[in-house]
Chains A and B, each alone.
Chain A
């Protein structure tokens, strides 16, 4: 649940002061992770740029005090799918404040480098809300290379990829040569740190942090959600109960105006691949799939249909793209969605996929990090015979 200690209506400077105060108090530092939830009241009715400034400041506060286990997923989320230079740079810096380098963090850093290198720009961490007007400071690429150096021998599994960063063709620009060499030297430094393949501190592999099995805690669908009217890509109406009760299902969330290609567009393209896997295994009639828009006021049936078609999504009676014709709040409550709004428009959201059981309860969720199609299909298939994946 969102942290209730901060009211929504604060100015950005007040917010920055608040974050600084929380970060300075070891007893309260754990609250910073709660402030990163997209549905926190503090983000309501703010634009995306303001939210980037605010979240970036929280990540920088974490970087000063150390990222807790609870906050790690927020840091990895930025590295995995972030496209805002300030946020990616802040996340890279925050990751270095974690307890120990770990091999499973390396793919996130490399993924972030690939995502951000053509959007690299100078960022300023000195004061809240400051934008760089000269390129003398740091940048997301520089921060990520520093994080690779921090990972040291733990990044040895991806040494070849890091070496490719200094290639004349396809490598990073020459201005990063010193940073790349420093990272390579640290990775090759076998005397320092733990065995690259080992899991010295019992840390959960970073890639699985976003997955949660909820069967034991899942509550049955409320009357409000069961009665909720859904409209699909063809304008056909049904209810939540009619579609989701009777068979397990896979549910994703998206909206057509999302401008992060690593989030909604990719989610829907991957849903199409999940559908193809279900079809190949003869499960397309046993497991339903649904994609819900966060933005039902704008995403009318035509928009849903075209968006799905363009990404290869199959649509028929058991596989649909939905908008909440009414009762969107019930939907948000049932899934505990990680989304914030300015007016009716989404201002920030996480990646989220849910596997529902045959009565519409959330059995497994994949949150924030990009999910693996095979893993999702395995969990949904397990719902059919009642055994965990």
Chain B
């Protein structure tokens, strides 16, 4: 009974503190978030109120980091602590004193048994272009037994840094994909690799390829070799048998990047686009065709 009364007394504190100054309230929220005496719900709610308060006291900061590190703590509370610390890190000046501990702790929990926590921590480190996280992610792509995340997620995180040396791993996955999502992410990552343009051109023109892959390829080609995209886009638009969504992507590319003089004189292409606009395609695609014709078809 005595213990129950103590807990009840403690739980009533957040309500009584509502009238306290913001600083005192925030400090109190940190103490709730980091104390196992409160329920998971109370602790996660308190963690959401703490962000900048955690930087104001080294003790609070260490307590919050300890929650994040502690595998015996409920995962929901650890995730809430992570979110609070992440929010605090946006305030670069206030976070200056905490950053070293924060990054070191993220690395410490990068291989945590909980997959959600692991993924979020690796995501935060990857955004920092952290060499430790990049090495772990690359190791997992080379050796699935060491993988901390599924390959598609690892590729997505590696793509945050163009200098991460992930192109070779991505090319290997395109060649022999463990699943379709991994293949897609590998292609998205390779969209920044100038040497991958020929591969994207081939994929974009392949009518047997998945449409999403062809769209990713078109987008990549427009960044890497816009003149090749225009050539391929023209061929796709002249091909009566190709898919409407791919034609619409090609039209958008030509509308944005096309050589105005050459396209205005391209009668075969203009006829084909006019046919596409007046055909059975969706209103959305007709509008795309109309934009193209408004720009290039001087006869209109």
Contacts and interface: CB of A to CB of B under 8 A. Distances in A.
Nearest to B224: A298
Contacts of A50: 131, 165
A132 B107 contact: yes
A259 interface: yes
30 contacts: A46-B165, A47-B165, A47-B166, A48-B164, A48-B165, A49-B135, A49-B165, A117-B96, A118-B96, A121-B104, A122-B103, A122-B104, A131-B132, A133-B107, A134-B104, A139-B100, A173-B97, A257-B162, A259-B129, A259-B163, A295-B194, A298-B192, A298-B194, A300-B226, A342-B165, A343-B194, A343-B195, A345-B167, A345-B193, A347-B163
Contacts, number: 93
B283 interface: no
B255 to A, nearest CB: 16
A118 B90 CA distance: 12
Interface in B121-168: 129-132, 134-135, 161-167
Contacts of A259: 129, 161-163
Nearest to B138: A47
Interface in B60-100: 92-93, 96-97, 99-100
Contact of A53 (B131, B162, B167): B131
A345 B104 contact: no
A295 B224 CA distance: 12
B58 interface: yes
Interface in B206-249: 224, 226
A66 B99 CA distance: 31
A120 interface: yes
Contacts of B132: 131
A118 B92 CA distance: 7
B101 interface: yes
A52 interface: yes
Contacts of B167: 342-343, 345
B99 A120 contact: yes
Contacts of B10: none
B108 interface: yes
Contacts of A298: 192, 194, 224
B163 A47 contact: yes
B164 A47 contact: yes
A135 B106 CA distance: 11
Contact of A118 (B99, B161, B166): B99
A344 B194 contact: yes
Interface residues of B, number: 32
A214 interface: no
A119 interface: yes
Interface in B160-182: 161-167
Contacts of B163: 47-49, 259, 342, 345-347
A122 B100 contact: yes
Nearest to A175: B97
Nearest to B92: A118
B100 A345 contact: no
Contact of A49 (B100, B101, B164): B164
B104 A49 contact: no
Contacts of A122: 100-101, 103-104
A174 B132 CA distance: 28
Chain A CB count within 10 A is highest, among B58, B97, B163, for: B163
Interface string A330-356: 000000000000111111000000000
A121 B164 contact: no
Contacts of A178: none
Interface in A222-264: 257, 259
Contacts of A52: 131
A297 interface: yes
Contacts of A120: 96, 99-100
Given A53-B131, A122-B103, A300-B226, 11 more contacts: A50-B131, A52-B131, A121-B99, A121-B100, A131-B107, A131-B130, A132-B107, A257-B162, A297-B195, A298-B194, A347-B163
Contacts of B164: 47-49
Interface in A31-75: 46-50, 52-53
A132 B104 contact: yes
Contacts of A48: 161, 163-165
B170 to A, nearest CB: 11
A139 B99 CA distance: 11
Contacts of B135: 49, 129
Nearest to B225: A300
